[in-house]
């Protein structure tokens, strides 16, 4: 039987992080053999949240390649140029581009790499293969949900972050409770039979505010309730001084900092990206709720200072029990759809963290009692084992700009490719077929 080709690099996930990596590999290390597996049917950027009118939250030049190689053909500017939209785009009265256009840019770049990607391929198990008894890991075997098998001398793991599901919702398996990743399809399903529906949105993030705005425009949504623990929907910290968290120098400083100082910086800088929104959408929500009151057609209700106590799926609706933490007042309401705009997990052992990405948990056993540690080049510290890189998961080790943002994708892929060249080409000398 023909042996499975042993790849130099297998990328798991083909979202923006590994698309940026594909560009960097083509431009910097074309000699490496590479494939990507992606569970979706094609290249889509956050399709469940592609809301009409929403914009991106990064400068468009912080795209998949420009900060690393401004002359690359894969830049956002060249995308506009080749699609004959440059002048019209530059004339738009917008601060940042529409998310729809950026999603098209991501798709446009991805199509150049179609020959390297297997879509409809979900990695379902990852196994380390040793060269012999007690020998270090020589390569990895990755199985997909439909039974395919890949082998590679290095892995670049970029599946996006795991959704954060707060405790009251953790055990619920009901299609009427959904994370924001699935907002648009679940809303469409809820509204499909034309009745009047009640929707709850949990969380105080940018996504929560965007969802409240979008849902309030849907004819079938008769009642829309936002729940947040905060006193109010908070504005993001958009100070240009704070935004230096998206500088490469910040990543160096953060990565080298003590755990105590990392925690201190994260506390100080959290509102640059989390539990807060841009002022444009906050203002729209405030005015829209006010205007509904003027018309005596109040559909939007914002319940602040709320702790969710319990969530109970009943036939008549999802029952949410909550408590106002100042007054102690407890309430119970039923909804047809509950959206968790509650963000994502980071790596670590604290609150809102997971120790390992679930798929790679078997590798954790190799570390014994040692905590997960990720080097500056995004390589997981696994001793002399074949290298595994985390691409887009390293906020707790590399700082606020690392996960959850386009800002450092291009430079991150350079770090990973430089390291891959060292690790795969120079250090290991296994045959390509084994």
Ligand X SMILES: Cc1cc2nc3c(=O)[nH]c(=O)nc-3n(C[C@H](O)[C@H](O)[C@H](O)COP(=O)(O)OP(=O)(O)OC[C@H]3O[C@@H](n4cnc5c(N)ncnc54)[C@H](O)[C@@H]3O)c2cc1C
- Min dist CB 135 to ligand X, Å, is 28
- Min dist CB 179 to ligand X, Å, is 9
Angle between helices 99-111 and 16-28 (to 10 degrees): 40
Nearer CB in complex with ligand X: 397/405: 405
Nearer CB in complex with ligand X: 12/137: 12
CB 214 within 8 A of CB 52: yes
Q: What is the dihedral of CA 354, 358, 363, 365, to 10 degrees?
A: 60
> What one-character-per-residue DSSP string does 120-187 give?
S--EEEEEEEESSTTPPEEEEEEEETTS-EEEES-EEE---PPBP--GGGTT---TTEEEGGGHHHHH
CB 166 within 8 A of CB 203: no
- Min dist CB 102 to ligand X, Å, is 7
Nearer CB in complex with ligand X: 228/405: 405
Greatest CA separation found in the chain? 75
Distances 209 to 51, 57, 198, 226, 275 between C-alpha atoms, Å:
12, 14, 17, 8, 10
- Min dist CB 207 to ligand X, Å, is 5
Residues 6+ apart with CB under 8 A from 1: none
- Min dist CB 358 to ligand X, Å, is 9
- Min dist CB 236 to ligand X, Å, is 12
CA distance 403 to 399: 8
- Min dist CB 317 to ligand X, Å, is 26
- Min dist CB 260 to ligand X, Å, is 27
Nearer CB in complex with ligand X: 45/254: 45
CA distance 338 to 202: 7
Nearer CB in complex with ligand X: 184/305: 184
Distances 172 to 179, 188, 282, 312 between C-alpha atoms, Å:
12, 21, 30, 8
Interface residues with ligand X (CB under 6 A) are: 12-18, 37-40, 45-46, 49, 56-58, 122-123, 158-160, 207, 359, 392, 404-407
Q: Which residue is nearest to ligand X (CB)?
A: 15
Nearer CB in complex with ligand X: 81/119: 119
- Min dist CB 93 to ligand X, Å, is 19
Nearer CB in complex with ligand X: 155/372: 155
Nearer CB in complex with ligand X: 47/136: 47
Residue 301's SS3 state is strand
Nearer CB in complex with ligand X: 39/324: 39
Residue 340's SS3 state is strand
In what helix (H) or strand (E) does residue 227 lie, and over which residues does it extend? strand 221-227
Nearer CB in complex with ligand X: 49/177: 49
- Min dist CB 341 to ligand X, Å, is 9
CA nearest neighbour of 391 among 89, 161, 92: 161
Q: How many CA atoms lie within 13 A of 293 on its CB side?
A: 8
CB 299 within 8 A of CB 292: yes
């Amino acid at each position: 039987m023909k042996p499975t080709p042993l790849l130099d690099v297998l990328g798991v996930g083909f979202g923006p992080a590994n698309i940026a990596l594909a560009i960097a590999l083509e431009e910097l290390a074309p000699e490496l053999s590479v494939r990507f597996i992606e569970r979706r049917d094609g290249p889509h950027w956050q399709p469940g949240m592609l809301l009409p009118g929403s914009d991106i939250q990064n400068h468009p030049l912080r795209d998949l390649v420009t900060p690393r190689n401004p002359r690359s053909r894969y830049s956002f500017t060249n995308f506009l140029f080749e699609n004959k939209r440059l002048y019209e785009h530059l004339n738009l009265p917008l601060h940042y581009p529409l998310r729809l256009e950026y999603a098209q840019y991501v798709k446009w770049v991805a199509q150049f790499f179609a020959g390297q990607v297997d879509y409809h391929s979900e990695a379902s198990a990852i196994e380390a293969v040793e060269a012999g008894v007690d020998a270090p890991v020589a390569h990895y075997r990755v199985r997909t949900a439909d039974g395919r098998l890949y082998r590679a001398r290095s892995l670049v793991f970029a599946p996006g972050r795991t959704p954060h599901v707060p405790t009251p919702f953790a055990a619920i398996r009901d299609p009427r409770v959904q994370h924001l990743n699935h907002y648009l399809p679940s809303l469409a399903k809820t509204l499909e039979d034309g009745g009047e529906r009640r929707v709850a949105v949990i969380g105080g993030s940018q996504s929560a505010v965007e969802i409240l705005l979008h849902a309030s425009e849907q004819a079938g949504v008769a009642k829309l309730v936002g729940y947040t623990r905060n006193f109010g929907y908070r504005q993001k910290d958009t100070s240009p001084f704070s935004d230096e968290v998206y500088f490469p120098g910040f990543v160096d400083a953060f990565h080298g900092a003590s755990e105590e100082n990392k925690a201190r910086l994260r506390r100080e800088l959290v509102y640059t990206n989390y539990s807060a929104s841009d002022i444009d959408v906050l203002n729209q929500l405030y005015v829209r709720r006010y205007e509904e009151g003027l018309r005596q057609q109040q559909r939007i209700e914002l319940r602040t200072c709320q702790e969710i106590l319990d969530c109970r799926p009943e036939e008549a609706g999802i029952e949410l029990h909550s408590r106002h933490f100042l007054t102690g007042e407890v309430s119970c309401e039923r909804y047809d759809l509950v959206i968790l705009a509650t963000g994502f997990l980071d790596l670590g052992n604290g609150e809102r963290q997971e120790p390992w990405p679930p798929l790679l948990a078997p590798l954790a056993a190799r570390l014994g009692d040692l905590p997960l540690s990720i080097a500056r080049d995004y390589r997981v510290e696994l001793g002399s084992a074949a290298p595994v890189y985390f691409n887009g998961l390293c906020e707790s080790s590399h700082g606020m700009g690392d996960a959850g943002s386009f800002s450092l994708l291009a430079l991150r892929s350079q770090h990973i490719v430089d390291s891959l060249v060292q690790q795969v080409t120079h250090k290991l000398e296994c045959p390509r077929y084994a």
